[in-house]
Each structure stands twice: as structure tokens, then as C-alpha cells.
Amino acid sequence: MNKIKIMSVFGTRPEAIKMAPLVKELEQRPEIEHFTCVTAQHREMLDMVLDIFEIKPKYDLNIMQNKQTLKDITINAINGLDDVLKKEKPDLVLVHGDTSTTFAGALTSYYNQIKIGHVEAGLRTYDKYQPFPEEMNRVLTSNLADLNFAPTSNSKQNLLKENIDPNSIFVTGNTVIDALKTTIEENYKFNLSALNDIDFNKKIISVTAHRRENLGEPLKNICNAIMDIVNKYKDVEIVYAVHLNPAVQNIVNEIMGNNPRVHLTEPLSLKDMHNLLSRSYLVLTDSGGLQEEVPSMGKPVLVLRNVTERPEGLAAGTLKLAGTDRENIFNMVSELMDDESEYTKMAAAKNPFGDGLASKRIADSILYYFGKKEIRPEDYV
């Protein structure tokens, strides 16, 4: 039997988290020959995830540079990927989401006339600068892709509005929910020892904020709002995993440093992060992935952005947009601290982003597309 030769391409920690369950699923399929190529657009943070899931890339382009620009990432990824594609000639290249690696992977595959599968397709804000450059990365990738794995029916509708071939769209759920099954442990001991000293009987608020559009004044507003919360509620402690970007580090340390109830940590390993989030009272984040993951843990999520490409979470009640206004963030956190019924309503809302079977649906969809399965997989609802 001729196997389908598939190459998965990713370069950042969020991509790796979401692709890891799919990589493992594809490796188990006898009809598929699978290998991984990483650009290492992010180096250290990517390696953390590769280690946890025991993924050994066949190709590591190692493109990360000090003070790299979007142009640097895109050009270096295209150059490296072009060499790999010309050597390997896969039947299908899988890219994920919305990074510069994603777009470079799709464009280079198109130049080599190789079919493209887009995992987590169809997310939209319809504002090309929010988030930047992610919104245009995913729009452009959708127009290059032959297979679109939309996580939700809403994502599918976005693609249909853009005249994407309906036969190319498979609604699968989000693979990040698959990953939670192997990362959250009941009696977990944190790798970062400082986290083992935190009293999780208190109301722990976990924070991540690092997006490009939040750098500068928005991030200052976020940090000041969090300190307002710390000053108002004596039973609150903050855990903020601070991005390595100096533009983030400098602001966060200046405003939030030297407070005994504020724990500023290095970027956490995937297991540390997931187990921290699952033990937190609520989560403040500008991350895309956490908007999908945290509702499965039964925790409210306040999104530190003005728009979200995950409106399903807003509709389900698992997310609320807090933006970057200091007073608004303070008021929304205070409401969840003071109003138990409002907190419970968000915490108990059903996660609309997946059921832990997305990787299986994607693998089945690929087999169907290449004629190895007769029946089209049912969409996730």
C-alpha cells in the first residue's frame, strides 16, 4: 500500500502544543508516513514542548535570531522549507494557525505545488492589524490551503463567506483540548519550585500578556489594573508568567515587581502552565490558545484584547472581553470576585472549542481526502 507522505511544519510554542497531539495521532496511522520540520521561530519555548511530547523533528531549521523581524522570520523560513520540500516531496504539508511560520510553510508548499492542510483554519477578527500579523497570516493561508480543518462551525462559516470550497472544510474541534488529557495531573509537582510554595487555597489569578499590539501603554494599563486588584483583595495572589521579550519584562518588573503577593515567573513549561491554570481562580490573558484551553478547566477567562477571533467563547459565556483599559479590567475582575453567581455562570459554561477528539477527526479527514476512507468524517458540533 502506498502511504500518504505528510510533513508537519511549526515553529512556535503555541503551534507545537496544538500540533503535538496530531503528530502523535498521525504517527499511529499505518496508511501515513509522517515527519516533522520545525523552523524554531521560537527556540527555547518550542523545545520545552518537543521534550514533553517526545517529538524529534526530522528537520530543524533553527532560524531564530536575536532581535529578529517578521521579514527575517518569513524569509529564513521560506529558504529553509524550500530545501526540505524539494528533497522530501511530501504529498501534504500541515501548517497550524496563524504564525509567520504558518504562512511561510503554506506559501513555500504552494510554490512547490504541494497540497496544504491548514489546522485551526477560519479564525477571523476582520481587522488586519488585530492581531498583527496573525490575522493576515491566517487569511492568506486559507487562500492557499487545499484542506481546511476548522475547529468550530463558526470558523467554517467564516471560510464559506470567503468562497473557500466547502468540500475542503472539515469541522474537527481544536487539537489543544486533546493535549490537556496528557498534561494535567491531580497531584502534580511543579518543575518551577517557586510554584510549589504558592497557597492554592487562596484566589490565584494567572496572567499572560505579551502580544505586539499590547506592548507599551496597553501593557502598562494591564499591569496597573492588576495591582489595583491586589490592593483591593487581600486574599488574591497573582502568578504572571512573563514573556522573554524585554519590552514586556521591563514594564512588568517596573510596575509589578517587589510585591509579596505577585509572583513573576519565567515562561513556564507546558505542564507547569496547564497545572497552574487548572488550580487558578480565574485567568487574565491576551493569548489565543488559553481562550480555548482554560474553559475546559472550569475557570473564567477575561481576554486582555479589544477583539477576539474566538467569538464562540463569548457566545458560550466562557470568555469576556476586558480590553486594555485599566478601569474596565479592574471592574470586570471585581465583578467575578464579588458576584458568586456571575463567577459560577462563567466557570460552568460548556467549552465550545473541542471534546478531545480533534486529532482523530483530522487524521480521518486526511485519509478520506486521499481516498483511503470511503465515508467522510462527521463534523464536530
Tell me if residue 208 falls in helix, strand or coil: strand
Q: Give the active site residue among 72, 212, 213, 228.
A: 212
Q: Give the active site residue among 34, 42, 118, 120.
A: 120
Q: How far apart are alpha carbons 286 and 302 in whole angstroms?
A: 9
- Among positive and negative, which fits the CA dihedral 38, 159, 127, 325? negative
Active site residue 134: yes
Active site residue 376: no
Active site residue 213: no
Active site residue 120: yes
Q: Give the active site residue among 243, 274, 279, 305.
A: 243
C-alpha cell at 84: 526540505
Name the one residue in this structure whose C-alpha cell is 468562497.
Answer: 163
Q: How far apart are alpha carbons 291 and 280 in whole angstroms?
A: 14
In the sheet that 203-208 helps form, which strands lie side by side, from edge to edge? Answer: 262-265, 236-241, 203-208, 282-285, 301-303, 319-321
Residue whose C-alpha is closest to residue 105's, from 81, 72, 75: 81
Kindly give, in sequence order, each residue whose CB lies less than 8 Å from that of residue 341, ignoring residues fewer than 6 positions away: none
Q: Give the active site residue among 29, 118, 210, 274.
A: 210
Q: Give the active site residue among 13, 25, 29, 98.
A: 98
- Write the CA distances from 297 to 201, 206, 270, 294, 351, integer angstroms: 17, 13, 15, 5, 9
Active site residue 42: no
Tell me if residue 91 falls in helix, strand or coil: coil
H or E element that contains 87: helix 70-88
Q: Give the active site residue among 25, 134, 178, 237.
A: 134
Active site residue 243: yes
Q: Which residues are catalytic?
A: 98, 120, 134, 210, 212, 243
